[in-house]
């Protein structure tokens, strides 16, 4: 998002990313929002962007007769967005495997790493969300086993949620490693 639009009230969720159609599923940093967008959404997004007026429309207040900017929902949303792009692999993970092993090997970290994955929108069926998180946890476990590490994985519930909600934070605790320069070698 553009720096001028960082306030929550300026999020592009009126025309471009309405909560019920294309919800915000993650945040990477200030002004870096991730929305759930399918291929079927792209023509509608393109249409909404094209509807945004090029020049600001001005109106007069009925009460004070003062002029004010009367932006359409499309202009407001388009003006808030700096770029729209598909996340790259580097955007999804900001560390290397070697960096993760160094982190897990540092005794100050208790050999634990927290992995947060994108949340599914609240409209996703419960069985879909349960399968989604189980699949991701299985992938984490397989990746760990594939690099000569023995680790415990666990689901972390960091906030009070309803019994029907599924966590999207997993913990990985290094238990044993055959990799060089790990805490087992100290």
With b for 16 or more beta-carbon neighbours within 10 A and e for fewer, the 71-108 pattern comes to: bebbbbbbebbeeeeeeeeeeeeeeeeeebbeebbeee
For residue 16, the tally of other CB atoms under 10 A from its CB is 25
Looking at the predicted structure, is the pLDDT value of residue 183 above 50?
no
Per the structure block, which two tokens stand in for 99? 């960096």
d(CA 57, CA 75): 10
Higher pLDDT: 114 or 97? It is: 114
Nearest-10 crossing angle of helices 73-80, 42-51: 100
Residue 24's pLDDT is 82
pLDDT at 48: 93
Q: Other CB atoms closer than 10 Å to residue 5's CB: what's the count? A: 18
- Please give the Cα distance from 117 to 168 (Å, whole number): 6
* Interatomic CA distance for residues 5 and 10, integer angstroms: 5
pTM over 0.85: no
Average pLDDT of span 120-143: 71
The pLDDT of residue 45 is above 80: yes
CA–CA gap between residue 177 and residue 180 (Å, rounded): 8
User: Averaged over 23-44, what is the pLDDT?
Assistant: 84
Q: With b meaning 16 or more CB within 10 Å and e meaning fewer, what string describes 121-135?
A: beeeeeeebeebbee
Higher pLDDT, 49 or 36: 49
3-state helix, strand, coil in the chain (%, to 5): 35, 20, 45
* 82 vs 109, residue with greater confidence: 82
Contact 25, 119 (CB under 8 A): yes
Question: What is the mean predicted confidence (pLDDT) over 173-185?
Answer: 54
- Which token pair is 152? 């415990």
Greater pLDDT, 182 or 43: 43
- Per-residue confidence band for 22, with pLDDT thresholds at 50, 70 and 90: confident
Residue 155 DSSP SS3: strand
> What percent of the chain is predicted at pLDDT more than 70?
76
Q: Give every CB contact of residue 16 below 8 A, 6+ residues apart in sequence.
A: 22, 45, 48, 49, 74, 77, 78, 81
């Amino acid at each position: 998002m553009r720096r001028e639009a960082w306030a929550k009230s300026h999020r592009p969720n009126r025309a471009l990313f309405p909560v019920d159609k294309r919800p915000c599923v993650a945040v990477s940093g200030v002004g870096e929002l991730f929305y759930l967008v399918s291929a079927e959404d792209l023509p509608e997004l393109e249409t909404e962007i094209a509807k945004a007026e090029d020049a600001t429309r001005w109106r007069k207040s009925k009460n004070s007769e003062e002029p004010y900017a009367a932006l359409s929902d499309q202009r407001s949303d388009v003006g808030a967005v700096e770029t729209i792009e598909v996340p790259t692999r580097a955007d999804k993970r900001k560390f290397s495997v070697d960096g993760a092993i160094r982190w897990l090997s540092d005794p100050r970290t208790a050999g634990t790493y927290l992995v947060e994955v994108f949340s599914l929108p609240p409209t996703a069926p419960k069985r879909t969300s349960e399968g989604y998180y189980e699949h991701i946890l299985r992938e984490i476990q397989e990746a760990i086993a594939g690099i000569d590490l023995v680790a415990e994985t666990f689901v972390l519930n960091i906030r009070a949620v309803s019994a029907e909600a599924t966590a999207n934070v997993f913990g990985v605790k290094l238990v044993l490693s055959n990799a060089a320069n790990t805490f087992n070698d100290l």
